[in-house]
A = this chain, B = another copy of it.
Amino acid sequence: MAASASGEATRIMLAVNESTIKGYPHASISCRGAFEWILKKIIRSNTCDFKLLFIHVQVPDEDGFDDMDSKFASPDDFKKMKHRDKIRGLHLLEYFVNQCHEIGVACEAWVKKGDAKEIICLEAKRVQPDFLVLGSRGLGPFQKVFVGTVSEFCVKHADCPVISIKRNADQIPQDPVDD
């Protein structure tokens, strides 16, 4: 047995999501933290031996909560809304792909729609990464009851090894439920 000198890249899947903080650009604090953790602690200077797989799951806005301030006067308005959601998802992935490109780490990124925790597990099964990394808000037990965590579900149900990276204490916003 020896540490491999070459061979296929280690494929790390990272689930990314948008920040819940209004006006905050793009990626959530947790998923940016998880991304930086991978670079700093795993990939380090060995950029050629890894490939990052970014998945973003868009939750269909069934209750229209995100569009409380929007006005809908025609079917086109709904199309616009869906188009806008798509654009936002792409901007999110663009952020991570740009970062990888700058650093010189191979990557792929894609968007899916549905229930985040279930889609992440399905995609992990389909894509078979070496492991899955999830950013986590690191909420206390009281907050978890109301918010639930995608990472807990994936740790239990994903086919591949899963590592959950909690937000740093200095990155917690005023309301810890925000991200």
Interface residues in chain A, defined as those with a beta carbon under 8 Å from any beta carbon in chain B: 1-7, 10, 36-37, 39-47, 49, 99, 102-105, 130-131, 155, 161-166
| Cβ 8 A contact of A3, one of B2, B43, B165, B166 | B43
Chain B residue with the shortest CB-CB distance to A37: B161
User: A155: which B residues are within 8 A, CB to CB?
Assistant: 155, 164
A10 and B131 contact, CB distance less than 8 A: no
User: A130: which B residues are within 8 A, CB to CB?
Assistant: 41
CA–CA, A130 to B103, complex, Å? Answer: 22
Distance in Å from the Cβ of A51 to the closest Cβ of chain B?
Answer: 12
Question: How many protomers of this protein does the assembly include?
Answer: 2
Interface of A (DSSP majority class): mixed
B4 and A40 contact, CB distance less than 8 A: yes
CA–CA, A155 to B3, complex, Å? Answer: 26
Provide 29 A-B residue pairs closer than 8 Å at the C-beta atoms, listed in order of the A residue: A1-B36, A1-B39, A1-B99, A1-B103, A2-B39, A2-B102, A3-B44, A3-B103, A3-B104, A3-B105, A4-B39, A4-B40, A4-B44, A4-B45, A5-B44, A6-B45, A10-B41, A37-B161, A41-B131, A42-B42, A45-B46, A45-B49, A46-B46, A46-B49, A131-B163, A155-B164, A161-B163, A162-B163, A162-B164
User: A99: which B residues are within 8 A, CB to CB?
Assistant: 1
